[in-house]
Structure 1
Amino acid sequence: MDYWPSINVVTKYVYSKTVQNSDWENTVFLQLVEELKNLKIQEVEQSDAKSQDIQVWGSSELIQVLLTNDLVDELWLMIHPLTLGIGKKLFKGGAIPAAFHLESCTVTQSGVILAQYQRKGKVKTGTFRD
């Protein structure tokens, strides 16, 4: 782990139905949605300067579980200017309706949009001008 020495310092949560061990220190394995919900409750209860966000990097399946169970407070999206025609979808059937507010947005020189969205309560219907 010389290329990423700090990975062993932080607690890592792995949501998997098959993998149950890792060479990384401080790794906790979760298998049930209830364990994810408890982790979220712990995050809220410990919301102080020392608490850390729960982040997901590159797991489209875990994102679906979190969206379906109303466990997403914030989205950081990288939108690339290309179409592939096929592939994994971020918002498949099952995600609960939720409103988000654009908190920040940056466009890179290559046209990639980096967008940060914060949860903003319930969905309100209307027109795009509302």
Structure 2
Amino acid sequence: MADLVLSIFTSLDGYFTKPGGAFAPPPWSDEVEREWSLAALKRARHLLYGRVNFLFNKGFWSPAETDPSSMAAGISYAPLMNGLPKTVVSRTLTGDPGWNGRIAGPDLAAEVARLKREVTGGDIFAFGGGGLANSLLALDLVDEFWLLITPELYGSGDPFFRAGRPEVRMTLTECRPLDVGSVILRYRRQRRA
């Protein structure tokens, strides 16, 4: 049975985006790529996205398959990103979203339970913004948290943690400072036996 890993990067003050909703990529280095991106892809067998993040990533990664001059084509793990199966949580997308994806059914808890049963040989990694993250948290579906905390204060924006989620106990499994000043925190959800 696969675990659901919520993989998120936020500012030190807990925001996904800068004021006004501007996307803010984390500071990058070879170490960040190795310890964050490649570590996730080593375990991931299925990706779960919110609509906005799915469309953004599809637009970035899929050109690697057809355009050798695209930015993604120069990234060694582009074939893996393009090849992994994906599920998109969306109220507005319909039909085949492309990029080896499918649209989730209307019951997110049932969708995640099905994925946990069906995915083998690794885990499900959820990449999304505040909407998907907080929906997963509110339904208590997350087994593990991978947080990349960046050395920036935004002051406002889209917050990671919102009201409406259950109280949970976590166990810290890793704390890794990175050369760019960011910190990776990995927590495991404590569940009652």
For residue 175 of structure 2, what is the amino acid of its counterpart?
Answer: C
Residue 84 of structure 2 is matched in structure 1 by: 10
- Which of 119, 122, 147 aligns to 1:52? It is 122
Aligned-residue offset at 1:99: 0.8
Structure 2 residue 173 is matched with structure 1 residue 103: yes
Matches within 5 A, 1:90-129: 90-121=160-191
Select the structure with the greater relative contact order (CA < 8 A; seq sep ≥ 6).
2
Question: Using the alignment, how far apart are the partners of 1:46 and 1:30 within structure 2?
Answer: 14
Aligned-residue offset at 1:83: 0.8
Residue 37 of structure 1 is matched in structure 2 by: 109
For residue 98 of structure 2, what is the amino acid of its counterpart?
Answer: D
| C-alpha contact (below 8 Å) 1:105/1:115 kept by paired residues | yes
- Deviation per CA, 1:92-124, whole angstroms, max 9, x where unpaired? 0111111111001100122201011000137xx
Listed as ranges, the gaps of 5+ residues in structure 2 are 1-61, 66-72
Structure 2 residue matching 1:54: 3-state secondary structure: strand
| C-alpha contact (below 8 Å) 1:43/1:51 kept by paired residues | no
Residue 146 of structure 2 is matched in structure 1 by: 76
| C-alpha contact (below 8 Å) 1:80/1:113 kept by paired residues | yes
Q: Mark the structure with the bigger radius of gyration.
A: 1
Question: Using the alignment, how far apart are the partners of 1:51 and 1:98 within structure 2?
Answer: 27
| C-alpha contact (below 8 Å) 2:144/2:186 kept by paired residues | yes
- Deviation per CA, 1:73-107, whole angstroms, max 9, x where unpaired? 11000111221111111110111111111001100
Listed as ranges, the gaps of 5+ residues in structure 1 are 123-130
For residue 148 of structure 2, what is the amino acid of its counterpart?
Answer: M
Q: What is the number of residues matched between the two proteins?
A: 117
| C-alpha contact (below 8 Å) 1:43/1:53 kept by paired residues | no
Structure 1 residue matching 2:191: 3-state secondary structure: coil
Report the identity percentage. Answer: 27
Question: Using the alignment, how far apart are the partners of 1:74 and 1:84 within structure 2?
Answer: 25
- Deviation per CA, 1:43-83, whole angstroms, max 9, x where unpaired? 44357xx3432212232210010001111111000111221
For residue 28 of structure 1, what is the amino acid of its counterpart?
Answer: R
Residue 125 of structure 1 is matched in structure 2 by: none
Structure 2 residue 159 is matched with structure 1 residue 89: yes
